[in-house]
Structure 1
Amino acid sequence: MAASGPSSGEDDRTHILDAGQAVASGMDEIGPGSRIGPYALLTFIGEGGMGQVFLAEQVEPIRRRVAVKLIRRQIADSLALAYFEIERQALARMEHPAIARVYDAGRTAQGYPYFAMEYVDGVSLSAWNRETRPDLATRLQVFAALTRGVQHAHERGIVHRDLKPDNVLVTEIDGQPHPKLIDFGIAIGVDGDGAGSVLRAGTTDYMSPEQFAEGHAAIDARSDVYSLGMILLRLLLPDPRLPVEPTQRPSELHARLRASIDGTTDPGLQAMPLELRHLLACALDPDRNRRYASAAALADDVQRYLWQRPLKAVPRTRRYRLRKYIRRNRAGVAFGVAITLTVLGGLGATLWSLARAEREAARSRVTAEFLSTVLSSVDPEIARDLDKTLLRKVLDEAAARAARELAAQPEVLAQIRTVIANSYLGLADYPRALEHATQARDSAVARYGAGSVEALSTLLAYGDALISTGKADEAEKLLRPAVAAAVLAAGSDAPLTLRLRQLQGQALRSLGRSEEAHAELVLAAAGLRETLGDDDGFTMNARVALAITLADLDRFDEAIAMLRELIERRSARLGADHPATLTMRNSLAVFYLQARRFADGERELRSLLEPTERQHGADNGYTLTIVGNLGGALRQQGKIAESGPYYRRAMEGTLRLYGTDHPSSIMTRHNFANWLLDDGQAEASLRAQQEALAAAGRVYPEPHPTEAEILTGLGKALTRLGRYAEAEQALLRSIDMKIATRGPDNSRLPLSREALRALYLAWNRPEDAARYAEAPR
């Protein structure tokens, strides 16, 4: 079933509304072929207690498929209207990959409320589980993603109260299943204590014990935790043999779980892994004070199971921790056992091992000799002030020698090509980095296999080079399965796995998927801190990437505080002018600009420019980034004439380095176009914005935050030229795209709304301008 609304599956058989039952809705006058505002209804999708859902085509200001949910007849005491409005407001407050987005809301010509939301082409969670028969890991990954979406709702003060498989659709994105929560019809807000007093509502199979209580029970997020536990139980055991009487289910089910954990044979539960029985017993405890305290805590324990780490729900005995360690580190433990068996196995095995060790040692000697002779001075973090032109020549010679002299040793050649690729990345020569990283990956895959640690290790440079050359979409598709493969090959908490996860987060961020990027980077940074420590370079890099996503999500105070801490750590170890420290300081300057602290940003950028030029050169990608950012800091303070040369230099330099179809070139051209408009050159500004928009369409998937920014600039230029209708179209697209990519609280949204207000004033449409007089934040 393709839907974005309630369905009529098995879980809807008992739906309680104490205040009254639904009256016949009389919805015959609206249906497929009808028009509601800008939405043409195409087909009927589904029906629930609150109304009907239709697949519709939005025809203006942009064309896309949406789901329209509408109600046209009240039920007793206007309860349906109240619940409908609650759902609309609840969904509008959320922006998460596991929750369907609301685009628009209004009333039909007959006066009935409706809202338009993201159309999800998928099937219900129960149907997906039944029809595709996914393996255990896939079921748990989908459930964990759903649970994090519920946590997102809780963080915005919304308790769902009616979580069940029919309110979750599963859709495929790039071949991977993704859950979408689609129905908040009886959600409530919570008060300062995290509880809300409400009417009894829910679906009995998934209701918590407190939802069965008489009167106005205090319902909080732990009620949803219970419902999530029931959903997981159904995912793992489609027929768990529950008691007929709903109010008896919580206590009887929990007793069965505890008994099975203690050793009592239960055919229905025994097939389930013991750890997951512990997890369910915690989520489904009748006493909410003994449940997981939050949906996030439940999701974390599911993730721990997938990563072979000890669960919080399982008593942490020494035996249990040892068993988890062995499972998590099969390769290392097996290696230790293999050594013991070799020693006991006799002289023949010992001699074989010695021969292998000699081969490994010879290979290492070749690698070390080669690297020491041609590569030791190339890394910018070591070379510091040396001529980068000379370093590139050294690298070019190293690459040529490697191909000639090591063709018969593919293992060594793969390692050296990875080193060369990383060195080119350090020099911001991304096309050459990608060339050598591709060769290293291909060699390692051919020699060891795609799922080997050796081949996966080459993806660190390869993925980085893909992202840096504007191929983030390709990188993300590669890295998602690579992380899963690394978990199997090296363990979930291995630095390789965590660094691949970090890189996946960076790819998602480049694609404008900031919430997903943040989730991946939180896991990567936390894992690296635990594994390598706070002062390790890989840990710091992951935390910098995490801070950048915090800024993308408008959490500037957190981003700035985190980066200041990291700069202090790195400065203490490496110095304030070390290349790694300078990179962090540039990120801090960008955060200042995003937070509109332009004077702070200018001061930081001016102090960065000289050491960066000295270490990387005047036309290097790093240097040009700082040059462009400095131009932005000056322009935002009204220093138009002073900022112009910086904008021009950044744009011309990135076009020389990368060509037109690269993220850096797109952004510097857009920024230069903004400066041209401020400088009174509207025609030139329009041409530059059009060129940037065309390149963005070739590079980014739509919608994308960068494209939204360019549309705002395009609208401003068209307004200045008196081309009002075209300007309106561009600005409306920009607003819609910003909401689609980063939600209605996007800090960049007021800029587009203010541009639209200015357009309407110039167009002599004051009534329309008044609608945008106070841009919401």
Structure 2
Amino acid sequence: MSSVDARVLSLFRAYVDLEPRRRSRFLEDARRDDPQAHALLAAMIAADAGEHALDLSLPWLSDRLRTGNEDAADADEDDESDGENRIGTRLGPWRLVRKIGQGGMGIVYEAMRDDRQYEQRVALKCARAELSSPRLSEALLAERRHLARLQHPNIVPLLDGGVDAQDHPWFALQYVEGEAIDLWCDRRRKSLRDRVALLGQVCDALAYAHAQGVVHQDLKPSNLLVTDDGRVQLLDFGLSAPLNLGADTPAPPVALTPGYTAPEIVFRGAAPCIASDLYSLGVVLAQLLTGDGPSRSLLAQASQWLATTSSEAGAERLVRSAATATSEAIANRGLSDRRSLAKQISGDLAAIVERCLRADPTQRYRSAGELGEDLQRWLQHRPVRARDGGRLYRTGRFLRRHRLAMGLAGVTALTAAIGGGATWWQAYRVERETQATLAVSRLFEETLGSATLSGLSDTPFSSSALLRDVETKVRGLDLSAQPRTLAGALTSLARSRAVIGDYASATRLADEAARLLDRDGAPSLETRATLASLLNLQARHRQARSVAEQTLDQVPHDQLHRPLRVRLLTEIARSDWELLHHRDAQDALDAALALTRNQPERGPYAELLTLRGYWNARLLNLPQAEADFRRAIAVAADTQPALANQAREKLIQLLTLQERFAEAQGLALQLLEQRRRSLGDRHPDTGRAWVALADSQCGGGRPADCRASIERGKDILRARYGESHPEYAEALRVSTQLYFLDEHSYAERLSEMRRSASILQESYGPAHEAALRARADLGVMLLHRKPASVPDEEQRRLRDEGLALLDSVLSTSDRQKVPIFTPKLYYAIAIARRNRGDDRDTARRLLVETQTDAERYFGDSRGLHLRISYYLALLAYIQGDLATADAQMADIAAQAETAPPHLRLRLVLCNILNVRANIALHRGDRDSARNHLIRLRDTAMRWLGPEHPWVKQAQRDLDLLARTGRFPT
């Protein structure tokens, strides 16, 4: 490497290590001190940032990285069209059927024999026409020559070859039905052992190619296909080179793949050799083990290469990747937590990867066969040569290979060693713990009756006074020398507190129990699982996840501990979902479901089905959500009524969302009755049942019942949680629907809605679905028609606030890919009325999008479709197309009058009658205007009550029309 080369790489590393704010000054200093090195550094930084293709004068970099980013090549429209144009044409006896791949040099097609000699399918590779050059043709010919020399069961064989009309070479390979090795392993959730065994096949194929004098030079997952029967096929020798160790100036490759290519080739222009292929194979192995693919950044690679001076650097990076692996990557390897992955990878596997990735090629494995042998040694629990382990290491491997025999011998020896004082001390401790446990059990039996150290059933308590008394008596017992017994008692009391909805006290007790057990050195896994659940109930999701994940790492993988693993995975799933880590949540939920399916204890399975149904409902996968809820109810109804009721509560919310109000109300009444009977009238679950009933009653057009139910629910939740809890905020959100029934309560309901949105945003963050829903409802209230008593200036201020709020909500929902409906309708009409710039075009687009989404997610939901149709007609009215608006509204009104009871639809009908009266007056048809106003007054009186503002406004307009011949429009 020249002095300039070294200087540039040194600058490279220094630049990447700097804080962003200091980089400009650094570049200015480099420009002043060393203009030549600065120019090369600037070009590398620009290429790394993707600003333009790399074009450097460094001899060891020039023309080596012209492409390498196959994804970018695939996205190029001209490349795509060129490839498509060839479909249907022939090359030799082969007709091109479809394009199946494209890289930096060539295009690969599926082709069929077309000369009537015999039938055969092949993969045919030819040059990309727009890149044709003598050098590219020579590279394809070289690939063909190399393949002709290779006959190995793990290398795709060459079948045919020739040149096209423009003298560009092509060749046909055996067609392989396979998938890239990383994707194949992930889809089948292959263990680390299975992945290592697959890479052993690659080592065999690569060792054979090297023996034939061919270096592959482009090893990466997409060039290692695995068939359905688990056989690896090595393909794409497009960058292959002859293994000529005596060459002084090797020909540079046409292209390289950043991240997989050995750094000495990228940054130093070294000759291709066995060591460079082994580097690439090490990158693939690391990716298969951890799921962490290599960086494609030149800047990062340069820094990493220069930093790799310690023999431990590669191993440390691998273990760090395992420790930060995604939940998806962990599940795809058949594991349940990061700790297990890091534990399996650290040591031998990390040493193997580190040997492959060493900066100095001479310190890597000497051959692919040697690497394959080390992988085989790991599979057989034998010492690997990558580690310089001593006698202790070799002994450990011997014991692991023969663990059954050694285990039996160890048990015998241990049994013989136990005796005397150890036996006496153990017996004494057991006796003391037994006496303490009996004392606590008697106390529980005398005070709580059915309550025991294992927890409580659905037994209701009238107040928390009894539990306070029991806690006082437990602390009065002499349990200072028996922390396990005290912890068990406190855990039981924590569960009892949770049963009556006192989650704060429950958490305090569970946390104290966990700390007692930690100090005693005893496992506190069950207690910590209870603590995680209680933290989730209080919306403290980050803490809950931390507790659950740390505990899960300590739980053994056996049948006895399966229920505990399920509990912890469930709490991790809950936490991740509420923290908007939806993919991680789904992974944890799937892992828990796999452990509970077909198990005799059905409660956990029902709970997980309910959780999955709730998530499906939030994503508007409505049929799947309903199926999950109904299945959960069926599974838990006989043995776990509390869990069945949780599923019923979610099903009620789903039916209400779908505007199936009669079904929702029937199920809500059933839920309320069961919870009042089992939990009592003041339990928070009973309060939620009242809120669920109120929601269905409000939407179903039963205002008096809705008002009574929501007040009962709010009263219970306020008493149990206070006025700053998310559950109370949800009750306030439902309560604001009463505004639509009584617009004179606008100020009160708007205040409640602001409070609800504030609590939920503070509890969960602004992007959380509950907070987003509350902000959307607040935006709707701000844009909804106000009482006449609100001054015009205040109405404009509220309208502007509502528009800004809904604009933010729509942007967030678009990013989260969760469609929303009513807020989008209100927003569209509000900007159409504002009419700035392209507001009305935007409004039409939003309404059409909403209509499409409604058809996709809600099918034939009549109420929603009629409301959307009304807003489209209202847009026509705002734009001055009165004839179209009137005709459409007449049709909508006829359908709305025969629809089932539905609050929003009744309000739509009132709005339609008001607009049609305005249109008739505009046309000078006072009789039609008068008839529409009479229908508006009578309809509102019948459905909304005589005090509703629509009734009073219609009567005022009728009086004005009679006196003056006009009314305000």
> In the alignment, what sits opposite 1:519?
587
Deviation at residue 623 of structure 1 after TM alignment: 0.7
Q: Identify which of 591, 604, 611 aligns with 2:654.
A: 591
Deviation at residue 423 of structure 1 after TM alignment: 1.3
Counterpart Cα distance in 2 of 1:376 and 1:513: 43
> In the alignment, what sits opposite 1:753?
824
User: Which sections of structure 1, spanning at least 5 residues, go unmatched?
Assistant: 1-8, 10-43, 54-74, 86-158, 163-185, 189-195, 260-265, 281-294
Higher relative contact order (CA 8 A, sep 6+): 1
> In the alignment, what sits opposite 2:472?
400
Q: 1:353 to 1:435 in 2, by over 3 A?
A: closer
Tell me the SS of whatever aligns to 1:773.
Answer: helix
Could you list the per-position Cα deviations for residues 556-594 of structure 1 after superposition, in whole angstroms to 9, with x for gaps in the alignment?
Answer: 3233323323322322335xxx43433332233233334
> In the alignment, what sits opposite 1:726?
801
Q: Which amino acid aligns with 2:653?
A: V
> In the alignment, what sits opposite 1:528?
596
> In the alignment, what sits opposite 1:225?
183
> In the alignment, what sits opposite 1:37?
none
> In the alignment, what sits opposite 1:245?
216
Counterpart Cα distance in 2 of 1:339 and 1:719: 80
Tell me the SS of whatever aligns to 1:706.
Answer: helix
Aligned residue runs from structure 1 range 10-409, under 5 A: 80=76, 222=180, 225=183, 244-246=215-217, 300-303=332-335, 341-342=414-415, 345-378=418-451, 388-389=461-462, 392-408=464-480, 409=482
Deviation at residue 497 of structure 1 after TM alignment: 2.9
Aligned pair count? Answer: 552
> In the alignment, what sits opposite 1:649?
712
User: Which sections of structure 2, spanning at least 5 residues, go unmatched?
Assistant: 1-8, 10-43, 54-70, 82-99, 110-122, 129-138, 140-153, 159-169, 233-274, 290-326, 346-374, 382-395, 787-794, 854-969
Q: Which amino acid aligns with 1:605?
A: A
User: TM-score by structure 2 length?
Assistant: 0.48
Counterpart Cα distance in 2 of 1:502 and 1:355: 39
> In the alignment, what sits opposite 2:724?
661
User: Are the counterparts in 2 of residues 631 and 643 from structure 1 also a CA contact under 8 Å?
Assistant: yes
Deviation at residue 246 of structure 1 after TM alignment: 4.4
Please state if 1:428 is matched with 2:501: yes
Q: Identify which of 844, 847, 854 aligns with 1:770.
A: 844
Please state if 1:459 is matched with 2:528: yes
> In the alignment, what sits opposite 1:470?
539
Aligned residue runs from structure 1 range 368-767, under 5 A: 368-378=441-451, 388-389=461-462, 392-408=464-480, 409-448=482-521, 453-454=523-524, 456-486=525-555, 494-529=562-597, 533-573=599-639, 578-680=641-743, 681-720=745-784, 721=786, 722=795, 723-740=798-815, 743-744=816-817, 746-747=818-819, 749-764=820-835, 765-767=839-841
Q: 1:197 to 1:337 in 2, by over 3 A?
A: same
Between structure 1 and structure 2, the one with the greater Rg is 2
Counterpart Cα distance in 2 of 1:335 and 1:643: 70
Counterpart Cα distance in 2 of 1:200 and 1:354: 81
Counterpart Cα distance in 2 of 1:477 and 1:219: 43
Counterpart Cα distance in 2 of 1:407 and 1:296: 45
Counterpart Cα distance in 2 of 1:160 and 1:299: 29
Q: 1:462 to 1:511 in 2, by over 3 A?
A: same
Could you list the per-position Cα deviations for residues 263-309 of structure 1 after superposition, in whole angstroms to 9, with x for gaps in the alignment?
Answer: xxx9x99xx99xx99988xxxxxxxxxxxxxx989953352797599
Q: 1:82 to 1:442 in 2, by over 3 A?
A: farther
Deviation at residue 678 of structure 1 after TM alignment: 4.9
Could you list the per-position Cα deviations for residues 96-140 of structure 1 after superposition, in whole angstroms to 9, with x for gaps in the alignment?
Answer: xxxxxxxxxxxxxxxxxxxxxxxxxxxxxxxxxxxxxxxxxxxxx
User: Are the counterparts in 1 of residues 487 and 516 from structure 2 also a CA contact under 8 Å?
Assistant: yes
Q: 1:697 to 1:76 in 2, by over 3 A?
A: closer
User: Are the counterparts in 2 of residues 518 and 550 from structure 1 also a CA contact under 8 Å?
Assistant: no
User: Are the counterparts in 2 of residues 417 and 440 from structure 1 also a CA contact under 8 Å?
Assistant: yes
Deviation at residue 505 of structure 1 after TM alignment: 1.2
Could you list the per-position Cα deviations for residues 156-204 of structure 1 after superposition, in whole angstroms to 9, with x for gaps in the alignment?
Answer: xxx9999xxxxxxxxxxxxxxxxxxxxxxx9x9xxxxxxx999999xx9
User: Are the counterparts in 2 of residues 197 and 218 from structure 1 also a CA contact under 8 Å?
Assistant: no
Deviation at residue 440 of structure 1 after TM alignment: 1.4
Counterpart Cα distance in 2 of 1:609 and 1:251: 57
Q: Which amino acid aligns with 1:513?
A: H
Deviation at residue 382 of structure 1 after TM alignment: 6.5
Amino-acid identity (%): 18
Counterpart Cα distance in 2 of 1:83 and 1:675: 60
Q: 1:393 to 1:540 in 2, by over 3 A?
A: same
Q: Which amino acid aligns with 1:561?
A: A
Q: Which amino acid aligns with 1:403?
A: R
Tell me the SS of whatever aligns to 1:485.
Answer: coil
User: Are the counterparts in 2 of residues 279 and 301 from structure 1 also a CA contact under 8 Å?
Assistant: no
Q: 1:554 to 1:77 in 2, by over 3 A?
A: closer
Deviation at residue 667 of structure 1 after TM alignment: 1.4
> In the alignment, what sits opposite 1:26?
none
User: TM-score by structure 1 length?
Assistant: 0.59
Deviation at residue 413 of structure 1 after TM alignment: 1.0
User: Are the counterparts in 2 of residues 712 and 755 from structure 1 also a CA contact under 8 Å?
Assistant: no
Could you list the per-position Cα deviations for residues 673-711 of structure 1 after superposition, in whole angstroms to 9, with x for gaps in the alignment?
Answer: 233245324333322222222222321233211221122
User: Are the counterparts in 2 of residues 593 and 601 from structure 1 also a CA contact under 8 Å?
Assistant: yes
User: Are the counterparts in 2 of residues 548 and 559 from structure 1 also a CA contact under 8 Å?
Assistant: yes
Q: 1:414 to 1:346 in 2, by over 3 A?
A: closer
Counterpart Cα distance in 1 of 2:714 and 2:408: 54
Tell me the SS of whatever aligns to 1:572.
Answer: coil
Q: Which amino acid aligns with 1:621?
A: P
User: Are the counterparts in 2 of residues 493 and 527 from structure 1 also a CA contact under 8 Å?
Assistant: no
